[in-house]
């Protein structure tokens, strides 16, 4: 507690009643605030236990998909395994000690296929996520900041927005052969729209703030204003968008596989696996072929969504209390 | 002349906030008396705690803030002990009302002005329907809004800044409060509108027998409206007295600094008196006088012990060791003496 | 004694916003000159057009009519790159809100050097660092502040960083757009002293835009009063305060609160009623009532 004396006349040293030295420079140095944006963001994020737990789960999952092929006793995903007794294809073998997730209808090991499929799907998700974010940011930034091009970009956006995504995807996959690159290309073409719009809206809000006017007065080029003045404020939004783009892309891939336009069968992916599982869904003993890929897909989707949103909230300076 | 009656008595109030895991002490044992019918101005700069101080009287502290110790006595009850919304509803509006700085955000943009004033009237005056509407029109006239029947149906965006502030004042008055707290009511307004609003508040004070607390940083406004002035620095009231006490006989070095830095006192071509440095960090425990590091005339004891109130007169007291009989004689800055010379003789 | 040089001339300037159908005239046929070495005050209430004029000079706003001449050369409208670069160097602006006019995510070093990077007005990295250090010292800040971020500083210090940013360009004219309105009362004095000091040491010229008449009296040599896009009076500062001629000026002066309780309590306020005075009719003339003292009649 502060030393407010009740009886000022006793117990004070008389010599204290003399002028003290005044240091003007020391007065200037008053350290003002130790607020660090990223530190506060991380702290708020940590308070959300669920999001943090999911972050751990995702990291473990990612780690595992990478090291899985190097573990001992792993099977190959595309190899058709034969029953040692009958020398026949080991079709629809339920999960046991040898085949942890069982085998599918032509005898392939489901455990290996699921991890291979997860790798592929995550690869698609991350690549599409980053590419759409990149295109979206560039387009959104120019759209929002350069007034002369605003009208043109709005028209372009409207055109793209009005054509149903599915139609574009179907067309592209039909024209080009179904393959990994086709799929990624097709998803990028349609995925940048939402990002662009969001970035553009935010830029419109901050483009006339005084510090941007100051930059213009100092002759700063448009590119420099966008990269140094505007985008740093949008980092949290950008990361949120990427975090959400990953499950969206994976979901899109599943959907395309469902309608027959996904990856070729020899490249396992979560979409392929779920599709195969769907075909045998009806018989109870074979349902495991749907469960396992569905569970993996659900965990990934839920984790990225929750984490992405939690991070977006944490990155909002208004929540930094 | 009748003795002033104290209606609000604050003693050694301590308010703390929890900010990013650390504790900030926003108000550090501040004490104040409010007398019925007067206009008290609380002067301070940003970070002094003046808004937080008055918000505590209405239970409007942010969720991460709390009253740590001290008392706020109002009509026999200690408001510092109030915890529930139910308790505060008896005080807010009915007894103590507030007018905020920014009229743009004080009004609901989606409701007509008439509706908003009527809500307050129905709640606090118990009128309904036509009677309430009449009361609204009458109050809008009171606050100087012309064509009140037409304005009743208009939305806030159709009003200018000054008119909106009048509406906010109308809503506050509709509750017939005892105390009206005006938190920088004219800072966001043009100078001509400011003059009108201050005049309005004065006339309303007479008509409805209000006690008004003005929170401001503008010493010109203070001179215009205040009977008594409290000077706040770093969460404490460092000097309090009548308007003339503070302007013509200031005792605390911070008050000297505030008055000296007025451009009206400046001599052209000569630098203005300034205080260097910044207000102290309220996250840390402050040893001694909070103003000491910025005070060129600080005593050694200012860095060790916190000064208590010293009485200058019946109406005037200040928290500075310079008033202790053992302190050396310190000259007030020339600019302060100049104020007395120039303006006291009028 | 030779007449001081005219640094900036505003001739019949109009600035309009909106399109042809809904035009809003912010600046309406404005005329004034700024002489080298003086501080000209431009005072008006919100919406009067004062900020718009400042931004038109620095080429943020486009003008729709009239000329802005800097040292005799026209700088509004389309100009060539060389002149544009010169305007960027020689005319700078200080903004109102120190909390919004600095890039929070950039270090003070970058903020102060931004102009230097753009105009490449330095030869080596050493020289650039030197210039930044000198600018910070000139505004009373310590050179070690260059490696910190804006949020670590108070309002007054941030405003001084904003001033350092303009000084590093070695400008001749600084447009100060309400530079102290957003600052605490005791900090205002610091910034005003600084501006006066820099004017003496570096030979600067200021256009001081404000709405607070009491501050303007202290810092300006001449004052122009603007209302609804038109300048209604222009005179030397003391002349304006002691002998205002235009009713709007008189009204403005009468409502400024004076920090003197004895005087204030008994003052009668004289409100300016625009209806009483037709100052925006087409027939108003800009008249020189006495030498150097102009009024719109």
pLDDT at A6: 46
**Is the Cβ pair C189, B276 closer than 8 Å?**
no
Region A177-191: mean pLDDT is 83
pLDDT band for C208, please (50, 70, 90 cuts). very high
- What lies within 8 Å, CB to CB, of C199 at 6+ separation is C37, C39, C205, C206
Global ipTM: 0.86
Q: Please count the residue pairs, one from chain A and one from chain B, whose beta carbons lie less than 8 angstroms apart.
A: 85
pLDDT over threshold 80, residue C279:
no
Q: Which of A137, A135, A123 minimizes the C-alpha distance to A238?
A: A137
Where does the pLDDT of residue B56 fall: very low under 50, low under 70, confident under 90, or very high at 90 and above?
A: very high
In a domain, A253, yes or no: yes
pLDDT of residue A308 exceeding 70: yes
Neighbors of chain B with 3 or more C-beta pairs under 8 Å = A, C
Mean pLDDT of chain B: 88
Q: What is the pLDDT of residue B346?
A: 47
**Residue bearing tokens 């139910």:** B86
Residue B150 pLDDT exceeds 60: yes
- C269 touching B (Cβ < 8 Å): yes
User: DSSP for C15-47?
Assistant: EEES-SSS-EEEEEEEEEEEETT-EEEEE--TT
| CA-based nearest distance A214→chain C, Å | 7
* pLDDT tens digits for range B66-117: 999 999 999 888 998 888 888 888 888 889 999 988 888 889 989 999 999 9
Nearest to C293, CA basis, from C209, C237, C211: C237
Cβ contacts below 8 Å, chain B against chain C, sum to 120
Query: Are residues B258 and C197, on separate chains, in Cβ contact within 8 Å?
Result: no
The continuous run of DSSP H or E covering A199 comes out as helix A180-206
Average pLDDT (B245-253) is: 91
The whole-number pLDDT of residue C129 equals 92
Residue C281 domain-assigned (yes or no)? yes
Does a structural domain hold residue A244?
A: yes
Q: Say what the pLDDT of residue A319 is.
A: 73
What pLDDT score does C272 carry?
59
What CATH number is associated with residue A276? 1.10.3720.10
Residue C277 within a domain: yes
Judge whether residue C269 has pLDDT over 80.
no
pLDDT value of residue B345: 59
Residue A56 has pLDDT above 60, yes or no: yes
Q: Is the pLDDT of residue C184 over 70?
A: yes
C204: nearest Cα among C94, C291, C130, C292 = C94
CATH code: domain of residue C203: 3.40.50.300
The pLDDT confidence band at residue B192, using thresholds 50, 70 and 90, is: confident
Tens of pLDDT, residues B212-246: 999 998 888 898 899 999 999 999 999 999 999 99
Q: Is residue C1 part of a domain?
A: no
Share of chain C above pLDDT 90, in %: 51
Chain A residues whose beta carbon lies within 8 Å of the beta carbon of residue C153? 32
Asked whether the beta carbons of residue A218 and residue C106 sit closer than 8 angstroms, the reply is no
* pLDDT score of C89 more than 70: yes
State residue A40's pLDDT score: 81
Most confidently predicted of B292-306, C159-173, C279-293? C159-173
Q: Are C277 and C248 in contact (CB under 8 A)?
A: yes
Count of domains forming chain C: 1
Residue B175 Cα distances to A169, B78, C180, angstroms = 63, 22, 37
pLDDT interval class at C270 (50, 70, 90): low
Q: How confident is the model at residue A29 (pLDDT cuts 50, 70, 90)?
A: low
**For residues A149-156, average pLDDT:** 91
Fill in the DSSP letter of residue C148.
S
Contacts of residue B253, Cβ cutoff 8 Å, sequence gap at least 6: B291, B295, B297, B298, B320, B322
A138 located within any domain: yes
Reported as half-sphere exposure (CB side, CA atoms, 13 A), residue A26 has a value of 8
Question: Between residues A253 and A13, which one has the greater pLDDT?
Answer: A253
Q: Assess whether pLDDT exceeds 90 at residue C102.
A: yes
Give residue A12's pLDDT band: very low, low, confident or very high (50, 70, 90). low
**Nearest-by-Cβ selection for C186 from B224, B257, B268:** B257
Helix and strand totals (H; E) in chain C? 10, 12
DSSP state of A89: B
pTM for this entry: 0.84
Q: What is the mean pLDDT of residues B265-277?
A: 78
Number of domains present in the structure of chain A: 1
Distance from CA of B91 to the nearest CA of C (A): 32
**Residue A191: inside a domain:** yes
Q: A92 in a domain, yes or no?
A: no
Are B263 and C190 within 8 A, CB to CB? no
Under an 8 A CB cutoff, do B263 and C261 touch? no
Is residue C10 scored above 90 in pLDDT? yes
- Structure confidence by residue, pLDDT tens digits, C221-242: 999 999 989 999 999 999 999 9
One DSSP character per residue, A293-312 reads HHHHHHHHHHHHHHHHHHHH
- Does residue C271 carry a pLDDT above 80? no
State which residues form the domain around A214: 41-70+113-319
pLDDT on residue A34: 65
Say if C103 falls within a structural domain. Answer: yes
B269 pLDDT higher than 80: no
Q: Is residue C177 part of a domain?
A: yes
| Candidate from A62-71, B261-270, B310-319, C80-89 with smallest mean pLDDT | B261-270
C 124-143 residues inside an 8 A Cβ radius of A: 140-142
Q: Are B185 and B201 in contact (CB under 8 A)?
A: yes
Q: How many CB pairs under 8 A join A and C?
A: 75
Low-confidence winner among A143-147, B71-75, B108-112, B284-288 (lowest mean pLDDT): B284-288
* CB atoms B298 and A32 under 8 Å: no
Split at pLDDT 50, 70, 90, the class of A189 is confident
Residue B7 pLDDT class (50, 70, 90 cuts): very high
H or E element: which one contains A65?
A: helix A49-67
pLDDT at B39 exceeding the cut of 80: yes
The domain in which residue C280 lies consists of: 6-296
pLDDT greater than 90 at residue A109 = no
User: Please, which chains are in contact with C (at least 3 CB pairs closer than 8 A)?
Assistant: A, B
- In-domain check, residue A255: yes
Quick check: A16 contacting B, CB < 8 Å? yes
Give the closest-approach CA distance of B171 to chain C in angstroms.
26
Inform me whether the pLDDT recorded for C250 exceeds 80: yes
Q: From CA B232, how far away is CA B319, in angstroms rounded?
A: 11
Is there a contact between C153 and C145 (Cβ–Cβ < 8 Å)?
yes
A positions 195-214 inside 8 Å of C (CB): 209-211, 213-214
Pairwise CB contact (< 8 Å): A34 & C152 = yes
Q: Is pLDDT of A302 > 50? A: yes
Is A159 inside a domain boundary? yes
Per-residue pLDDT at A4: 46
Ranges A314-318, B16-20, C268-272: which has the least confidence:
C268-272
Average pLDDT of chain A? 82
pLDDT tens-digit map of A166-178? 788 778 877 887 7
CB contact under 8 A, B305 and A15: no
Q: By the 8 A CB rule, do C186 and B274 touch?
A: yes
Q: Are strands C205-210 and C173-177 parallel, antiparallel or unpaired?
A: parallel
Whole-number average pLDDT of chain C: 87
Q: Are A297 and A290 in contact (CB under 8 A)?
A: no
Here the tokens at position B55 are 């918000």
pLDDT score, position A2: 39
CB contact under 8 A, B192 and C218: no
Which positions 134-173 of B are in contact with A (Cβ < 8 Å)? none
Question: How do C230-236 and C222-227 pair as beta strands?
Answer: antiparallel
Residue B311's pLDDT band (boundaries 50, 70, 90)?
Answer: very high
pLDDT, mean of residues C42-46: 91
- CB of A260 less than 8 A from some CB of C: no
Shortest distance between the Cα of B315 and any Cα of chain A, in A, equals 21
- Burial track B189-217 (b if 16+ CB lie within 10 A, e otherwise): bbbbbbbbbbbbbeebbeeeebbbbbbbb
pLDDT given at position B128 = 86
Q: Name residues whose C-beta falls within 8 Å of residue A219's C-beta, 6 or more positions apart in sequence.
A: C84, C85, C88, C115, C118, C119
Does residue C1 register a pLDDT over 60?
no
């Amino acid at each position: 507690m502060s030393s407010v004396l009740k009886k000022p006349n006793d117990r004070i040293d008389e010599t204290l009643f003399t002028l003290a030295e005044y240091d003007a420079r020391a007065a200037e140095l008053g350290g003002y605030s130790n607020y660090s944006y990223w530190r506060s963001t991380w702290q708020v994020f940590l308070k959300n236990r669920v999001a943090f737990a999911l972050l751990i789960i995702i990291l473990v999952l990612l780690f595992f998909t990478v090291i899985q092929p190097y573990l001992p006793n792993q099977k190959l995903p595309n190899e058709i395994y034969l029953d040692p007794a009958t020398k026949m294809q080991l079709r629809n073998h339920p999960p046991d000690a040898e085949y942890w997730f069982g085998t599918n209808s032509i005898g392939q090991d489901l455990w290996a296929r699921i991890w291979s499929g997860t790798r592929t799907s995550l690869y698609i998700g991350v690549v599409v996520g980053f590419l759409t974010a990149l295109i979206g940011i560039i387009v959104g930034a120019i759209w929002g900041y350069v007034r002369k091009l605003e009208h043109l970009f709005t028209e372009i956006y409207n055109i793209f927005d009005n054509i149903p995504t599915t139609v574009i995807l179907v067309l592209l996959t039909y024209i080009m052969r179904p393959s990994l690159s086709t799929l990624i290309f097709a998803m990028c073409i349609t995925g940048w729209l939402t990002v662009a719009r969001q970035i553009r809206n935010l830029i419109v809000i901050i483009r006339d703030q005084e510090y941007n006017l100051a930059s213009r007065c100092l002759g700063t080029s448009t590119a420099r204003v966008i990269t140094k003045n505007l985008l740093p404020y949008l980092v949290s939004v950008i990361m949120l968008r990427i975090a959400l783009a990953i499950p969206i892309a994976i979901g899109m891939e599943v959907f395309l596989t469902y309608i027959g336009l996904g990856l070729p069968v020899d490249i396992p992916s979560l979409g392929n696996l779920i599709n195969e599982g769907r075909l045998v869904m009806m018989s109870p003993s074979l349902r495991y072929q749907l469960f396992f890929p569905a569970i993996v897909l659900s965990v990934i989707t839920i984790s990225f969504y929750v984490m992405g949103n939690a991070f977006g909230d944490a990155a909002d300076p208004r929540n930094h209390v | 002349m009748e003795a002033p009656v104290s209606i609000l008595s604050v003693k050694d109030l301590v308010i703390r906030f929890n900010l990013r895991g650390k504790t900030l002490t926003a108000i550090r044992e501040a004490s104040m008396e409010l007398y019925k019918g007067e206009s008290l101005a609380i002067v301070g700069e940003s970070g002094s705690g003046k808004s937080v101080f008055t918000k505590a009287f209405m239970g409007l502290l942010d969720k991460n803030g709390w009253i740590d110790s001290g008392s706020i006595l109002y009509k026999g009850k200690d408001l510092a002990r109030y915890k529930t919304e139910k308790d505060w509803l008896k005080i807010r509006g009915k007894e103590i009302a507030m007018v905020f700085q920014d009229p743009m955000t004080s009004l609901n943009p989606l409701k007509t002005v008439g509706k908003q004033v009527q809500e307050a009237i129905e709640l606090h005056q118990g009128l309904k329907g036509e009677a309430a509407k009449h009361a609204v029109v009458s109050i809008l006239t009171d606050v100087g809004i012309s064509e009140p029947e037409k304005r009743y149906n208009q939305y806030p965006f159709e009003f200018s800044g000054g008119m909106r502030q009048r509406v906010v004042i109308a809503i506050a008055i509709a509750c017939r409060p005892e105390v009206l707290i005006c938190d920088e009511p004219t800072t966001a307004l043009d100078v001509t509108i400011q003059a009108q609003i201050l005049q309005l508040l004065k006339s309303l004070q007479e008509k409805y027998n209000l006690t008004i607390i003005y929170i401001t940083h503008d010493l010109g406004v203070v001179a215009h409206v205040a009977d008594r002035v409290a000077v706040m620095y770093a969460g404490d009231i460092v000097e309090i007295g009548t308007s003339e006490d503070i302007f013509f006989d200031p005792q605390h070095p911070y008050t000297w600094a505030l008055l000296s830095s007025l451009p009206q006192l400046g001599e052209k071509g000569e630098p203005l008196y300034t205080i260097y440095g910044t207000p102290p960090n309220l996250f840390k425990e402050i040893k001694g006088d909070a103003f000491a590091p910025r005070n060129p005339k600080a005593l050694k004891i200012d860095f060790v012990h916190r000064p208590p109130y010293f009485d200058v007169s019946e109406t005037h007291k200040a928290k500075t060791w310079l008033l202790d009989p053992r302190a050396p004689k310190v000259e007030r800055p020339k600019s302060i003496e100049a104020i007395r010379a120039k303006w006291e003789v009028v | 004694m030779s007449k001081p040089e005219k640094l900036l001339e505003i001739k019949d300037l109009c600035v309009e916003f909106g399109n042809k159908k809904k035009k809003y005239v912010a600046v309406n046929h404005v005329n004034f000159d700024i002489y080298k070495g003086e501080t000209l005050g431009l005072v008006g209430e919100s919406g009067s057009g004062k900020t718009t004029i400042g931004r038109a000079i620095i080429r943020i706003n486009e003008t729709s009519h009239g000329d802005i001449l800097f040292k005799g050369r026209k700088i509004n409208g389309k100009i060539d790159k060389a002149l544009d670069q010169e305007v960027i160097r020689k005319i700078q602006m200080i903004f109102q809100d120190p909390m919004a006019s600095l890039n929070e995510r950039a270090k003070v070093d970058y903020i102060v050097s931004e102009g230097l990077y753009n105009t490449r007005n330095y030869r080596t990295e050493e020289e650039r660092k030197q210039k930044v250090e000198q600018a910070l010292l000139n505004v009373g800040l310590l050179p070690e502040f260059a490696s910190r971020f804006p949020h670590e500083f108070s309002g007054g210090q941030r405003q001084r960083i904003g001033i350092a940013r303009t000084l590093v360009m070695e400008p001749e004219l600084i447009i100060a757009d309400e530079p102290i309105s957003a600052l605490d009362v005791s900090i205002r004095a610091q910034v005003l002293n600084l501006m006066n000091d820099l004017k003496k040491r570096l030979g600067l010229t200021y256009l001081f835009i404000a709405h607070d008449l009491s501050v303007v009296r202290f810092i300006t040599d001449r004052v122009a009063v603007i209302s609804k896009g038109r300048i209604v009076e222009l005179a030397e500062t003391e002349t304006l305060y002691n002998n205002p001629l235009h009713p709007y000026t008189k009204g403005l002066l009468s409502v400024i609160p004076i920090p003197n309780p004895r005087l204030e309590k008994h003052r009668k306020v004289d409100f300016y009623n625009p209806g009483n005075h037709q100052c925006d009719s087409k027939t108003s003339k800009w008249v020189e009532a006495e030498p150097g003292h102009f009024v719109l009649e």
